[in-house]
Structure 1
Amino acid sequence: MEDQLEYDILQQIKPDELLQLRDLYKINWPTYSPIYNHIDMAHTWITKNNEEIKFYSVNGYFDDGTVIFISNLECDKIKLTYYTLEKSNSRLYDGLMKTKRIDWNKQICLDTIYRDQLPLSFEIAKAQHQQFYSLAIGSCWWLPKEKAAQFEIKIPNHTFVGPLSLEHAEKIYRSWTYNGHRSVEYVASLIKNNNCFGIFHENDRTLMAWVLLREFGVLGILQTDEKYKRRGYATVVTKALCKKIAENNADSICYINVENTASKKLFESLGFKAIDYYAWMKMKPNVDTCG
Structure 2
Amino acid sequence: MESEPFIPVGVEELEQLAMKLKEDLPLSSYVYNMMLHHARKYADKVDFFILKNSPDSHIVLWKNKDNQMALGIHCLEKEVSLLEESLKNTKEIDFKKSLCIFHAPDFFVNLLMDLGKEALGTDMTKDSSDDFIFDENQQLPPLMCPAGFAVKSLGKAGLEIMHSNWRYKVCVPLEEALQVAKNTAALGIYADANLKVEYEVNIANIPMAKDDEIPKSWICATLHGTVGMLMTDENYRGRGFAKLLSQVCAKMMHDKGYFVHTCVERDMPDVKRLYENLPGWSINRQVTWIWQGCDDNAKKE
Query: What SS does structure 1 have at the residue aligned with 2:69?
Result: strand
TM-superposed CA distance for 1:25, in Å, is: 3.7
Equivalents in 1 of 2:157, 2:181: separation in Å?
10
Q: Residues 39 and 216 of structure 1 are in contact (CA less than 8 Å); yes or no, is this contact kept in structure 2?
A: no
Give the total of aligned pairs.
273
Instruction: Give CA-to-partner distance per residue, 1:165-196, whole Å, 9 cap, x none.
Output: 34333311232233344433343233233211
Q: How does 1:1-291 map to 2 (within 5 A)?
A: 8-27=4-23, 32-33=25-26, 35-36=28-29, 38-49=31-42, 51=44, 53-72=46-65, 78-129=69-120, 131-132=122-123, 134-147=125-138, 150-202=140-192, 205-271=213-279, 272-284=281-293
Instruction: Give CA-to-partner distance per residue, 1:66-118, whole Å, 9 cap, x none.
Output: 111011576xx532200111525122223322222334443100111111120
Q: Report the more deviating stretch, 130-139 or 259-268.
A: 130-139
Query: What SS does structure 2 have at the residue aligned with 1:277?
Result: strand
Query: What SS does structure 1 have at the residue aligned with 2:216?
Result: strand
TM-superposed CA distance for 1:50, in Å, is: 6.6
Give the 3 Å change call, closer, same or farther, for CA 219–124 of structure 1 in structure 2: same
Q: Residues 143 and 247 of structure 2 are in contact (CA less than 8 Å); yes or no, is this contact kept in structure 1?
A: yes
- TM-score where L is the length of structure 2: 0.79
Q: Residues 128 and 287 of structure 2 are in contact (CA less than 8 Å); yes or no, is this contact kept in structure 1?
A: yes
TM-superposed CA distance for 1:223, in Å, is: 0.8
Structure with the bigger percentage of helix = 1
Give the 3 Å change call, closer, same or farther, for CA 130–161 of structure 1 in structure 2: farther
Equivalents in 2 of 1:208, 1:81: separation in Å?
34
Equivalents in 2 of 1:96, 1:201: separation in Å?
52
Paired residue for 1:289?
none
- TM-score where L is the length of structure 1: 0.81
Q: Report the more deviating stretch, 169-178 or 106-115.
A: 169-178
Paired residue for 1:4?
none
Query: What SS does structure 2 have at the residue aligned with 1:206?
Result: coil
Q: Report the more deviating stretch, 91-100 or 14-23.
A: 14-23
Equivalents in 2 of 1:166, 1:190: separation in Å?
14
Letter in 2 for 1:273: S
Instruction: Give CA-to-partner distance per residue, 1:34-80, whole Å, 9 cap, x none.
Output: 52463244234334447354211122534221111011576xx5322
Equivalents in 2 of 1:109, 1:52: separation in Å?
15
TM-superposed CA distance for 1:144, in Å, is: 1.4
Give the 3 Å change call, closer, same or farther, for CA 21–131 of structure 1 in structure 2: farther
Q: Residues 113 and 124 of structure 2 are in contact (CA less than 8 Å); yes or no, is this contact kept in structure 1?
A: no
Q: Residues 184 and 252 of structure 2 are in contact (CA less than 8 Å); yes or no, is this contact kept in structure 1?
A: no
Letter in 2 for 1:22: A
Letter in 2 for 1:195: A
Query: What SS does structure 1 have at the residue aligned with 2:137?
Result: helix
Letter in 2 for 1:176: W
Letter in 2 for 1:68: L
Give the 3 Å change call, closer, same or farther, for CA 124–71 of structure 1 in structure 2: same
Q: Residues 112 and 279 of structure 1 are in contact (CA less than 8 Å); yes or no, is this contact kept in structure 2?
A: yes
Q: Which runs of 5+ in 1 are unaligned?
A: 1-6, 286-291
TM-superposed CA distance for 1:18, in Å, is: 3.1
Q: Which runs of 5+ in 2 are unaligned?
A: 194-211, 295-301
Query: What SS does structure 2 have at the residue aligned with 1:147?
Result: coil
Give the 3 Å change call, closer, same or farther, for CA 84–112 of structure 1 in structure 2: same
